[in-house]
A = this chain, B = another copy of it.
Amino acid sequence: MSDTPTYPVDARNRVKRRHDRGFYDHATVHGLLDAAALCHVSYVIDGLPYCTPTLFWREDTTLYWHGSSASRMLRNLSDGQPACLTVTHLDSLVLARCGFNHSADYRSVMAFGQARLVTDPAEKRRALVMMVDRFFPHRTGGLRASTEQEIKATAVVSMEIERASAKIRAKGVADDEEDYALPIHAERLPVHTVIGAPEPCPRRLPGVERSADLAAYREGRPLEDALREAYAAAYG
């Protein structure tokens, strides 16, 4: 992972607690971002913090997300506003032999930058395509075209990543050495986020089939694997 470019590190994104868990290289950071559909975006309005869940995607070192032009978050972004976009993959809960060593395995990314409304018509139109096609490759070409009203009603936000850090814990039970001698049960409880059986729309017309482009999304598969595969198909 040291062959790839890295994000600059300063006080804002340096992993201070458990710094052995910190990574700043593009490959690690981007890999964790591209394995997710959901993020949480933080921003400040009138000095107060807000944390909003949203779907997002990455293009090179730029993150995109969207929302209604009427939303609280987006009304404040037209001039560029500092934001922090965070993605977390929860991999396990960890039961240790003392309270202090109870933990969780996880892989997270915090990305910092200036969130901006995408106002250029061509950039916005392309972003609205990728908003769908990044998750479902080549899908937009087969959809009913967007109306001008729909395009107006959808705000797209972009944020060039200025700083980012990944933090990874992946070691399960890690007790103090002397505690392993205690007759206490300890375990790692894995957590998986998976795809269920796809549910075709009950009003789908007869003869309309599911596209082979959706093959990545099948029952029981980890969502992150499907998202990574779709990302590669969309941008590869």
A residues near B (Cβ < 8 Å) are 12, 16-18, 37-38, 40-44, 47-53, 55, 67-68, 70-72, 82-86, 88, 90, 92-93, 95-100, 102, 104, 106, 108, 110, 112, 128-129, 131-132, 135-136, 139-140, 142-147, 150, 153-154, 172-173, 175, 179-201, 203-205, 207-211, 214, 217, 223
Contacts and interface: CB of A to CB of B under 8 A. Distances in A.
Given A44-B47, A181-B205, A185-B208, 20 more contacts: A16-B71, A40-B53, A41-B51, A49-B83, A51-B110, A97-B143, A97-B144, A99-B140, A100-B146, A100-B153, A100-B154, A102-B131, A102-B132, A143-B184, A185-B209, A186-B204, A187-B200, A187-B214, A189-B196, A191-B195
Given A98-B146, A193-B192, A204-B186, A108 B53 contact: yes
A97 to B, nearest CB: 6
A52 to B, nearest CB: 7
Contact of A128 (B99, B188, B193, B211): B99
Contacts of A86: 40, 51-53
Given A102-B132, A128-B99, A196-B190, A40 B49 contact: no
